[in-house]
Structures are given as structure tokens and as C-alpha cells.
Amino acid sequence: MKTTPEKTQHIFWMLILIVSAFFFSCGSDEDADESVFYYNESVGISSLDPAFSRDLEVMWATNQLFDGLVELDSGMNVIPCVARSWEISSDGLTYTFHLRNDVWFHSSPLFADSSGRKVVASDFVYTFNRLLDPKIASPATWIFSSLNRNISGGFEAKDDSTLTIHLTEPFQPFLGMLSMQYCNVVPHEVVDHYGAEFRNHPIGCGPFQFAFWYENVALVFHRNNKYWQRDAEGQSLPYLKAVKIDFVKDMSVEFQGLLQGRYDFMSGIHASFKDELIDAQGNLSNVYSNQLYFQKTPFIKTDYLGIMMDPEMEVNHNSPLMDVRVRQAISCAIDRKNMVKHLRNNTVFAAENGFVPPVLNPQGKDSLYYSYDPKRAGALLNEAGYPGGKGIPEMVISTVSDYTDLIEYIQHQLGKVGIQVKVNVLQGPALREQSAKGQLAVFRKSWLADYADAENFLAVFYSANFCPIGPNYTHYHNEKFDELYRSAKTESNDSIRYAAYCSMNDILMKDAPVIPLYYDQVSHFIRKEVSGFQTNPVNMLDLRTVKKQKRMADGAP
């Protein structure tokens, strides 16, 4: 029988998986439990190249393999990573970073010394220029939109341990932006050799190094024994010997795998097992308290209804939604607290404080805009000339299937004040395309911040960011808002900048081009035998300090 190349490749990967299974199962049960961290990624991973780490699942994987100049701690403060220190010039235009001298790329035969190579400043120059290369087409080019190319090309390696970045205008959130996975350093020898195939031949300087990837089946990382970071007692990190990621699409299988100990943690709460896993107060059900612990923290993510504000768009011809009082009435008519209680088991937070989540909002929970108030909603509709909703055509709200319950709830709520709603369920790509083209009058979306600064949320409504060029899907335009946004971008005084953010949030809520629904929560379910697992508001998976105990027969450590 003739063997096809496809069959040969399949046999090859199956042999690797068998060898891998032997590797993870050989030795004592205690060794296996203590050395390997297992988790499932149901949506898959598209790349291991940090230049394309747009999606959370890619960020999680690349965070194990790569490091950048800086990183965020659990309080979202910028702290050193490969850069041990830095200075920012008084005019905010020049950033000078001083690199550690003990950071090494993982082993590769492409290096002069196959055991690895020291990371130097010129590696960051190469990495950042690569992000700007149109041939690469990385979605990260916007990070360096204020780069001053007239000074040393924008990036300058003074020597092996000194890197300078030049900007055309000050931008206070810039340092935090460098903590994103896009900016993780890569070696030119390996990237130039593999080209686009660097996505599945990654070499970084992170706590783990790439072992193998059988796409849509399994991905394995091994401990980087030359990793630079140590714990408070001087012990080398990471503690784990390996990480293994599965790609099972069925969330119920993942859930069962967590309960049976095949996986060490699970992120998020799927509707199919929400009521079983979480009680009405948003806490872990007592049934699972002996097996799991539940870590949660506010997430820098807001779910909302967006309203197309451009009167030139066909969907807005003679639309009552162009009247701010109608938009405000819609916001007053939605009982968000009841919504998050019954539809999300209080695992998210009612969005009554504006578009910016309280965790990033300088005003925090002091800014209260639209609590549930059907009487006020009715009064606003009367004032707008639509008493009891009469004269308002059926409003179409577009969403994807995962959020149908949410929009049906809103449909019921708005029906109480006389506004009839039709739920339009689209596939994800169709929703993204049609909302970007201004073809949807009202749509449900979410905004997950790229970096931990309120500016990233407010940029969604800056008029220069109209879709498809930027993230302004509503085509909202307010001159005062734009003026404040431009001034805040270049303001180095935090007090003045935060005051501008608060004013922008006020303007946005008064004009109501967007109706915030809830602020999301990071929800992690972790096996009891796991310790040192850290949950943070940016939902970044950090396994450097994770340890595991031996799992006993009854499932308890």
C-alpha cells in the first residue's frame, strides 16, 4: 500500500504524541502531578508569534515563551522585566531602558552557541521594527503611532544594554503599552530563518520553551532552565517542569476534565454549567469546594450596546435613535442589576458608572449615571414626542448566539416602556463586518482594553478613530470630547489627565451613543492541589510561580 505524505505526517505526529504521553506519565504519579500544568484551550491557538498576539488565547501561550521590556503586576502597575530600569525625559519624548545582562534566548541550532544567546538592546530594535514592517502585517503597528523616525529611526541601541525610544509627542500610557505581548523580544536569527513559520517555531526568553505543537490536538512547553527570574528565596523560576495545552472544543468536556483532574484550571463560566458551578451570589457552589477554589477579580472589559450615530448612514434615516432623549430612555429602562443576577449569577458587575470600568476609572464607583428608572425612561420618551414608545419603529438589536439571552432580556425590558425590539442573531464575522461598515443601527459588542489605562476605552469614541480605520463603531463625534482626548493624550500630570478622563466619561454618558451593560470579571477555577496561581485584571496567564501537590485518590491534595 502506498503511503501518502499526509498519512506519513499524521503517523509522525501520532508517534510524537505517544512519546509525549510516555514522557508525562513515566515515573511516579507524584512526579507527574508536581511537574506538569494542564489546561484546555477550546477556541484553539492561531500563532505562537507575539507579533500576532491579538487574541487572549495567543497571549496566554506567548506569555509563557517570551518576555518584554516591562510587565504589569497584579495591581496593573508597570514593573521591570528584561529592562531592569528606565528613565523618561522631562518632555516625555525620550524613553531610555537599561537591560539586564542575564537574560538569554532559548536554545536553538541557529545561534552560534546552540545553547542560547544573550538578549541585547538591538534585539528590541529588530523586534519593534518588525512590528512596523508592512510585509509582516502585524496588528500592533498602532503602538508606535507616535514614533519619531527622524531620530535614529525611532529606536536606538546605544550599546548592548541600553535602548532608547523617541516619540513625536508625549503619551503617558506608552510605557504600559510596551507590556503587551506584541512587544515581547524575538531573535532575528530565528525569525529571519523561519519567516512566517516562526508562528510554530518560536524562540523567546520566557519561563518556558517550545517543545512541540500538533495543531488542534496538543501543545507542549518545557521549563526554561536558564530563565533569569528567581523567587524571594533565590530559587529559580518557574517551578513547573512543563505545560501541556489541549484543544478540546466542547466546553462540557473541559469542565468534566477539570473535575476529574485532567486539567488544572478553567477560565470563564459557560452558560451550560453556570448554575451548577456558581451560586446565586456569584460564589463557588459548595458541591465543588473540596476540589476547586474560585479566583475572581474585575476585568478591564465592558459589554455594551452601541448605537450608530452617523446620520448619513442608511440605517439612521429618520431614526428616533438620533434623539439623545430616546437613547437615554433606553439606558434608564434596563435593570442591569437584575440582569447580572439572573443571567450571569452575579459574576459580572452592572455598568452604571460609565463606559470605563471602575477599576480604571479615576472616579471609580462615585460616578453613577443610569440606574434602573422606568419612570424617568417614560418621561424622556414623552419629552422626545414618543409617549409610551408610540411612533418608534421596531428596533433591531444585532448580536451573536452566545448573547441571545442578554438581548432577549433587554427586549423584554424595553417592551415595558413601549419600545418594541427584534433580536437579530448573526455569526461573529458577520457582526464584526456589518458593524464596522455602519450597517447596524444597534449592536452588542464588548471592549477589552489592550493596555491598563482609561484612555484605551475613551479612544473608542474619538472621531479620528471611525471604523474601519479605528475602533469607533458608533461614529460618535463630539468636539469637546475630541479636544479633551487630544489634551489628555499628551498630559504628563496624572491629576490633570484623570480629570480629563472623568470629563470625557461625563460627556459620553450624557450623549449616550453607547449603553454600557456590565463590566466583566476574570473568573478562574483552579484545582486545590495547585498553589501560586495569580489572577489579575488583565487576565494574563502567569505560570511562573505555580506549584502542584500530589493529587490523592479522592481528588483532594
Phi and psi angles of residue 501, each rounded to the nearest 5 degrees, phi first? -60, -45
Domains of the chain: 5-223 (3.90.76.10), 299-520 (3.10.105.10)
Q: Whose CA is closest to 83, among 161, 159, 154, 155?
A: 161
Distance CA 520, CA 448 (A): 9
Helix (H) or strand (E) holding 455: helix 455-458
- Report the percent of the chain where pLDDT is more than 70: 92
430-462 as b/e, with b when 16 or more CB fall inside 10 Å? ebbebbeebebbbbbbebbbbbbbbbbbbbbbb
Q: How do 242-246 and 36-40 pair as beta strands?
A: parallel
Query: Given this model, what pLDDT does residue 275 score?
Result: 87
Distance CA 162, CA 84 (A): 11
Q: In 354-503, at which residue ranges do the beta strands (DSSP E only) sit?
A: 395-399, 421-425, 442-448
Pick the residue with more confidence: 33 or 124?
124
DSSP result, 424-454? EE--HHHHHHHHHTT--SEEEEEEE-SSSST
Q: Are 419 and 322 in contact (CB under 8 A)?
A: no
Q: Whose CA is closest to 379, among 390, 391, 387, 371?
A: 387
For 71, counting Cβ atoms within 10 Å of its Cβ (0-12 exposed, 13-18 middle, 19+ buried), the class is buried
Distance CA 376, CA 382 (A): 10
pLDDT at residue 19 greater than cutoff 80: no
Query: Given this model, what pLDDT does residue 270 score?
Result: 82
Q: Give the pLDDT mean for 333-346.
A: 94
Pick the residue with more confidence: 324 or 54?
324
Distance CA 204, CA 68 (A): 10
Q: Whose CA is closest to 38, among 221, 209, 297, 244?
A: 244
Distance CA 516, CA 307 (A): 11
pLDDT at residue 501 greater than cutoff 60: yes
DSSP result, 198-230? GGGS---SSSEEEEEEETTTEEEEEE-TT---B
Each residue's pLDDT tens digit, 522-548 = 999 999 999 999 999 999 999 999 999
Distance CA 382, CA 320 (A): 13
Q: Work out the pLDDT band at 551, boundaries 50, 70, 90.
A: low
* 147 three-state secondary structure: strand
Looking at the DSSP assignment, which residues form a beta bridge with residue 236?
Answer: 230
Each residue's pLDDT tens digit, 182-233 = 999 999 999 999 999 999 999 999 999 999 999 999 999 999 999 999 999 9
Q: Work out the pLDDT band at 9, boundaries 50, 70, 90.
A: very low
pLDDT at residue 13 greater than cutoff 60: no
Query: CA 368 → CA 72, 243, 342, distances in Å?
Result: 29, 44, 22
Q: Whose CA is closest to 337, among 362, 368, 382, 361?
A: 368
Distance CA 273, CA 270 (A): 6
